[in-house]
Amino acid sequence: MISWEQAFEGVTNGIPGLDRDDFEMVPKEDGWVGVRLPQEMMFELLRTPTYLSIQGDRWQFCCRRPMIFIGEWNRRGFMDNAPDGDGRRLFQEVMQEHADGMWESHFPDAAGIYVFRCPSCGRKTAYYDMD
Ligand SMILES: [Zn+2]
C-alpha cells in the first residue's frame, strides 16, 4: 500500500515481517517492514487506477518493477486462464500462500484472489484476502 505521504518519503506502508533481497527493507514499528522505492515508481502507482480489494491494496513486485494487476479470479478464472485448462495447477503455481486441498474446498469461489503479472518476465503471482 502506498499513500501520497509515503511517496514523498520514498518508503511504502509495508507489511509485517517482510524480508526480501531485491529492494531495501526499512524496519518500522511493531515488526512492520516498509520498502524503499524510487519515488517516480511510487507516484506512478498512485496514478494507477486501484483495484477493489477487501483489505486494501497490496502492490506486488517482480524484476524490481511493480507487477500489473490482471484481475480477481475465482475457480472459473483459473480454469479459463490455464494454458492447458488445468486450473488447479495454475492455482498452485501462482498462489503465494496456500494450504493443500484449498482448490478442492469452496475456497476459490469464496475468497478474493488477486492475480498479477510481471511485465518483464511474465511470471504470475496471486494472493487472497477475506473479510
Ligand atoms: Zn519478473
Ligand 1 centre to CA of 39 (Å) is 20
If one compares 101 and 32, the residue with the highest pLDDT of the two is 32
Whole-structure pTM value: 0.70
What is the C-alpha separation between 92 and 103, in angstroms, rounded?
Answer: 8
Q: How far is the centre of ligand 1, averaged over its atoms, from the C-alpha of 97 (Å)?
A: 18
pLDDT in tens, 75-126: 999 999 998 999 999 999 998 876 578 888 887 777 778 999 998 999 999 9
Strand partners, 114: 72, 127
Radius of gyration for the chain, computed over Cα atoms and rounded to the nearest angstrom: 16
Q: How far is CA 92 from CA 42, 52, 79, 104, in A?
A: 30, 23, 12, 12
Distance 63 CA to ligand 1 centre (A): 4
**Cα separation, 131 vs 121, whole angstroms:** 32
What ranges do the domains of the chain cover? Answer: 1-47, 51-131
Cα of 123 to ligand 1 centre, how many Å? 6
Between the CA of 117 and the centroid of ligand 1 the distance, in Å, is 8
State whether the Cα torsion 64-70-74-76 is positive or negative.
negative
Task: Measure 90 CA to ligand 1 centroid, in angstroms.
Answer: 17
